[in-house]
Amino acid sequence: VSSGAGRGSVWLMRVATACRLSSINSTRFSLGSHSRSLALEIQAPSRMNMSTVGSTTASDLLRIMTSGDETGNKSLQSHNTNTKWSSPSENFKPSKKQILASQNVLEHSLATDLNKFYVVDSSDESLVTDNFLTSKMQKEASREGFCSFLLRDYMLMASDFLEQTSFVPKVFFTGADGNGKSASLAYLEHRFHKKGWLVVPIQNGADLVLKPKYIDMSMHKEGMADSTLHAKELIERIFAVNGDMMQQFATTKEYTWFEGTDNATTTGITTPLSELRELIEEDDRCATDVACVILKELFAAKNRPNILLSIDEMNGLFEETAAMVDEDFNPIPPERLTIVRTLRSIVHGLAEEESLSRAALVGASSSCGNTLQQLNDVSRHIMLDSSVDGEVFYCKNNESTSPNQAKEKDVSDKNTGATASMPVTTLHFTPARLNQVEVGAIVGFSNFIGWCNQPTSTTFVGSLIDVTAGHFPLLKKTLRSM
């Protein structure tokens, strides 16, 4: 098949690139070397499976990246360099070490991995995409065929800081939507899960208040309301993420279920938390109570591993008005929502109990499609009032310092006026739009894997920032179209 310049050439080029990235035997395809056309030679058309074209996976991508020469572009560089799309720009021939972070997420550091791309290994890909990514990010990963993270400075700073568990470290991300707050949470959840921590990911704190799913009046406390489907989703996510570790936890007291019904039952002390899920199969109206008991028991357990509570759209969790009514059509205040009340209690406990060890809290704000103010009074108090600005705290004269060197701050005593030194327990970051260096890294990665073939010059990168406003998803979409 041969096509001249124009849309046909572009289509064939993309098919060839897709074939190179897919699991199709690449020996069945060859790129022509004509200066004004692209030839795609199919040696065995009857055996070609077009359903696999473009079905890139993390395994495929990593195999391609680790094969060939040091630039990872051996197959591209072997063709005619007179055509504008045949090989990477001369001013950017990246090596794997320049582009890719270590496959071991625990090895990432600010010193060695800043602005590199971390491609999640195929063995972890399903867990990360299904449990840590937002629905939009899941669609993006599905479209790309793999899951990856650009390691920005504040993500690596936050990770180092959270490892200081002699107190309750807290990290919060605020600011405009689309700047990487949710991606930062997902990366931290993944990293600390691999580190052996218990991870409790709350993907949509605002939805618990503003978009309830399947509301039941509580069977346990009169006047309370339960969001049954949200509770079931949370329970399944906790067990999916933490797997076998959940088998070691049991209740520390008796609980009565289905009160006021003929099916009332009591579970005794040392009942495995995994067995509580069986109650939901009997009557799912107890799902919210089961979720709340699991959360309380995990945080109260004495011999548990470190635990990370991560809440996206955290400001929405503290909204004053809920979008629901009870059976008499009276508005239900958020404090009457069982799961919201429990999570608020845990967050306040983590925010105020500085001496508690083996626990950490991370959260991000969201405008939820411009329906919420960024921070209400309560979330502002939690996420900002006691925080140290991470960007200012770590960066001085454009030189990043190790978070381990910055664990104390000066605090004035209100009574004596004396200045005392105390641990910094809360960091606040306001992720900005992508800057010149970060956009250059993204262009380099896109060239590296064959999405595009564009220069990393200051002029081109600047024009990309102007067109996309430094918005990550829009930038990647733009590059893939080139």
Q: How far is CA 110 from CA 169, 453, 467, 470, in A?
A: 19, 28, 29, 22
Q: What is the average pLDDT value for the chain, to the nearest integer?
A: 76
- The confidence score (pLDDT) of residue 321 equals 83
The predicted structure's pLDDT at residue 324? 75
In this structure, what token pair is assigned to residue 119? 């491609």
Average pLDDT over residues 77-96: 41
pLDDT at residue 118 in the model: 96
pLDDT category of residue 62 using cuts at 50, 70 and 90:
low
Q: What is the C-alpha to C-alpha distance for residues 126 and 43, in angstroms, rounded to an integer?
A: 35
Give the tokens for residue 457: 């010059």
| 449-452-456 Cα angle (round to 5) | 95
Tell me how far apart the alpha carbons of residues 470 and 475 are, in angstroms, rounded to a whole number.
7
Going by pLDDT thresholds of 50, 70 and 90, the confidence category of residue 86 is: very low
Burial of 177 (0-12, 13-18, 19+ CB in 10 A): middle
Convert the pLDDT of each residue in 289-312 to its tens digit.
Answer: 999 999 999 998 988 999 999 999
Q: What one-character-per-residue DSSP string does 211-247 give?
A: S--SEEE-SSSTT-EEEHHHHHHHHHHHHHHHGGGGG
Q: What distance in Å separates the CA atoms of residue 127 and residue 141, rounded to the nearest whole number?
A: 13
Q: Which residue has the tokens 């990963």?
A: 141
Chain centroid to Cα 72, Å, comes to: 27
Q: Which two tokens stand for residue 297?
A: 């028991």
Q: Say what angle helices 58-65 and 122-131 make with each other, to 10 degrees.
A: 130
> Whole-angstrom Cα distance, residue 192 to residue 161?
12
- Compute CA distances 319 → 227, 377, 386, whole Å: 16, 9, 20
Calculate mean pLDDT across residues 419-448.
83
The model's confidence at residue 63, banded by pLDDT at 50, 70 and 90, is low
Binned at pLDDT 50, 70 and 90, residue 187 comes out as very high
Exposure string (b/e) for 281-320, b if CB count within 10 Å is 16 or more? eeebbbbbbbbbbbbebbbebeebbbbbbbbbbbbbbbbe
Mean pLDDT is highest, among 42-46, 164-168, 471-475, for: 471-475
Q: Give the C-alpha separation, 28 to 288, whole Å.
A: 55
- Residue 409: predicted pLDDT: 47
Give the model's pLDDT for residue 224: 85
What are 288's strand-pairing partners?
Answer: none
In the DSSP assignment, the letter for residue 31 is B
Q: Which long-range contacts (CB under 8 A, 24 or more apart) does 11-19 make?
A: 12/38, 12/39, 12/40, 13/38, 13/85, 15/40, 15/53, 16/40, 17/450, 17/451, 18/53, 18/54, 18/56, 19/53
pLDDT over 90 for what percent of the chain? Answer: 41
d(CA 388, CA 383) in angstroms, rounded, equals 10
pLDDT given for residue 354 in this prediction: 55
User: pLDDT tens digit string along 361-376?
Assistant: 999 998 887 777 778 8
For 422, phi and psi rounded to 5 degrees? -140, 160
Q: Give the three-class secondary structure for 81.
A: coil
Based on the number of CB atoms within 10 Å of its own CB, is 44 exposed (0-12), middle (13-18) or buried (19 or more)? exposed
CA atoms within 13 A on the CB side of 73: 26
Q: List Cβ neighbours of 23 (8 Å cut-off, separation of 6 or more).
A: 52, 55, 57, 60
Residue 76, pLDDT > 50, answer: no
| pLDDT given at position 356 | 60
pLDDT given at position 298: 94
What are the tens digits of pLDDT across the range 278-294? 999 988 989 999 999 99
pLDDT value at 380 more than 80: yes
Alpha helices in 78-121 (DSSP H): 96-99, 110-113
Measured between alpha carbons, how far is 124 from 73 in angstroms, rounded to an integer?
26
Dump pLDDT digits (tens) for 381-411. Answer: 888 877 787 753 333 333 444 444 444 444 3
Q: Which two tokens stand for residue 110?
A: 């600010």
Instruction: Give the pLDDT confidence of 4-60 residue by residue, as tens digits.
Output: 444 343 333 344 334 434 433 333 333 333 333 333 333 333 333 333 334 445 555
Q: With CA atoms as reference, report the closest residue to 17 among 40, 37, 42, 49.
A: 40
Of the chain, the percentage scoring pLDDT greater than 70 comes to 72
Residue type, 148: S
Amino acid, single-letter form, for residue 209: V
What is the rounded radius of gyration, in angstroms, for the C-alpha atoms of the chain? 26
102-154 pLDDT, tens per residue?
A: 999 999 999 999 999 999 999 999 999 999 999 989 998 888 888 999 999 99
